[in-house]
Structure 1
């Protein structure tokens, strides 16, 4: 039976980033994922915002061209609000390649990554898998998605508020479109959220998301109906990739850690309640998680785990949690038309621009993070 310092369940961006940071601190780390290939089961659109690309090393070759224009549409699709930044605000990544890059980085740091291994449960540091030998570990990291089994096994909080999303991805002939991010607020196709098309001139991602209990005809039907006349033109014939999955929008969970393990990424609710963006917070929380885990395993002091405090982290989400409730309350096309109309004025456009182009990120744990394993600033 193998023994490791840390077992990470889930080889997404959060899990692989946490594993790389922990292995780089000299800990023995194993990562397991039920998928046999990281190119399967991709659920995220893969939109990286400017602040993430400023602070984290995502190879340029894995990113599409920059997107500066955002168009906000009411249900009628007439007279969209156009917001334009003087900087590249969004870039869409090839997420299968991003995951593979993160895997290689974790392995180069010393972590062992095992695919095709399905987690079953954990008890007192004894972790079982389907069809593989169990492992004993000092600490478990739950990076196993929005409906985390690790969270339940560790007695930590679980996500309870979800959107469900789906999208299709299709290639675009070079030079035939102008990169733009189209957002349609229409509760008939996306109750509680929006429909989107993000076109970076290479690929277009056409998607919808909303509260499942309000989707009378189902997410697949709504997506196909939206794609048929989505802004930016009808998708051409050709290869189409479909993606989808649950999106936690209740904010960071309160109880994230215990002496046996902690949660990162979607499992921790590290997704903006308003925009449903999760790539930036998952990377930032992975930095904090790695520092906390290394400090705790070095000292054995459970007080170190208090730094990974969901209640404290949730304070950054108060405004967005409030706006999430407002968003959820838009139940009719008339209310959606009024909401977009309210954004046409100077104050509304400023609010929209701040939300879409702002410099803020969550949580603020990047270069200023104190490494709890060494007591020195982490750079």
Structure 2
């Protein structure tokens, strides 16, 4: 039986980033993922916000052009509100390529990444795997998604509030104009959230997300209906990809760590309750998680795990959780029209710009260094 310091379950961006940082601390790290290819199972558009672009050295060649314009449409799709920033606010990534890049960086740091290996449970430090021999692990990091089995096995908190999202990816014609982020507030197609179209320079990503209980027509049906005449979508050839899955929006979970392991990424609820963005928090929490795990394994002091305190982070989410409930309460087209109309004035536009362009989509976890840390490699 192999013995490792840390077994990371899940080779998404959160898991691979945590593994890379732990391996750099000279820990023996193994990553397992049930997928045989990291290009499989991509569930969402990789939208990186300005704050992430500022703080992390992302692979520029895998990012689309900067997006500065957001157009917010009411259900009627007439007279959208245009918000324009003087800086690049969003860039859309090729997430399959970003994941592969992160894998190579983790392996370069010394972590072993095993694909096609399914986590089957843990007990008394022994992790059962399907597709590989059991592993004796001093610590387990659960990066296995919104419905984490690791969380249940370790007796940690689990996500209970979700949106369900679905997307279609289409090619776009070269030279199609300046990319923009088109957002439609319409409870008929995205109850409790938005429909959107965003361009990465090569593809248009068309998506909807909403409360699963309200999506009675089925998420795929709603997506197809929205995509048929979604604003900002050119007339492309057939879709090159469909994807989707659950998005946890209940905020960071309270109990994230125990002496046997901890959670990162979607498994930890590290997604903004308001914007449903998860890439920025997954990178920030991975940094903290790696520091905490390394400190705990080095000292054996369980008090170190107290730094990874979900309850403290949740306290900083109160405003976002309240706005999530308000957003979820917009359930009629008339209410959505009125909500967009309220944003047309100076005060409303300032609020919208603060939400879309502000630095507060996810609270700061720890003070960051003055120089950016490369991710990955």
TM-score by length of 2: 0.96
- Deviations, residues 333-371 of structure 1 (Å, cap 9, x unaligned): 0111111111111111001101111123534246637xx
| Equivalence for 1:198 | 198
State whether residues 145 and 266 of structure 1, in contact with CA within 8 Å, keep that contact through their aligned partners in structure 2: yes
Aligned pair count reads: 371
TM-aligned CA deviation for residue 240 of structure 1: 1.9
State whether residues 119 and 130 of structure 1, in contact with CA within 8 Å, keep that contact through their aligned partners in structure 2: yes
Higher relative contact order (CA 8 A, sep 6+): 2
Take 1:264 and 1:360, find their aligned partners in 2: how far apart are those partners? 20
State whether residues 265 and 282 of structure 1, in contact with CA within 8 Å, keep that contact through their aligned partners in structure 2: yes
- Deviations, residues 51-93 of structure 1 (Å, cap 9, x unaligned): 1011112111000000000000000111100000011100000
| Equivalence for 2:37 | 37
Structure 2 residue runs of 5 or longer lacking an equivalent are none
| Equivalence for 1:207 | 207
**Which residues in structure 2 correspond to 1:136-147 (within 5 Å)?**
136-147=136-147
TM-aligned CA deviation for residue 287 of structure 1: 0.3
**Which residues in structure 2 correspond to 1:141-220 (within 5 Å)?**
141-220=141-220
Take 1:235 and 1:135, find their aligned partners in 2: how far apart are those partners? 51
TM-aligned CA deviation for residue 136 of structure 1: 0.4
Check if 1:64 corresponds to 2:36.
no
| Equivalence for 1:331 | 331
State whether residues 185 and 194 of structure 1, in contact with CA within 8 Å, keep that contact through their aligned partners in structure 2: yes
TM-aligned CA deviation for residue 238 of structure 1: 3.6
Take 1:269 and 1:239, find their aligned partners in 2: how far apart are those partners? 30
Take 2:110 and 2:295, find their aligned partners in 1: how far apart are those partners? 19
Take 1:59 and 1:45, find their aligned partners in 2: how far apart are those partners? 16
Take 1:190 and 1:275, find their aligned partners in 2: how far apart are those partners? 14
TM-aligned CA deviation for residue 239 of structure 1: 4.5
| Equivalence for 1:287 | 287
CA 1:131/1:104 → structure 2, altered by over 3 Å: closer, same or farther? Answer: closer
Structure 1 residue runs of 5 or longer lacking an equivalent are 370-377
Stretches of 4+ moved more than 6 A in 1? none
**Which residues in structure 2 correspond to 1:311-322 (within 5 Å)?**
311-322=311-322
- Computed over aligned residues only, the root mean square deviation of the Cα atoms, in angstroms, reads 1.3
| Equivalence for 1:303 | 303
State whether residues 197 and 233 of structure 2, in contact with CA within 8 Å, keep that contact through their aligned partners in structure 1: no
State whether residues 173 and 236 of structure 2, in contact with CA within 8 Å, keep that contact through their aligned partners in structure 1: no
SS in 1 for 2:237: coil
CA 1:78/1:192 → structure 2, altered by over 3 Å: closer, same or farther? Answer: same
**Which residues in structure 2 correspond to 1:38-53 (within 5 Å)?**
38-53=38-53
SS in 2 for 1:133: coil
| Equivalence for 2:340 | 340
Take 1:128 and 1:101, find their aligned partners in 2: how far apart are those partners? 28
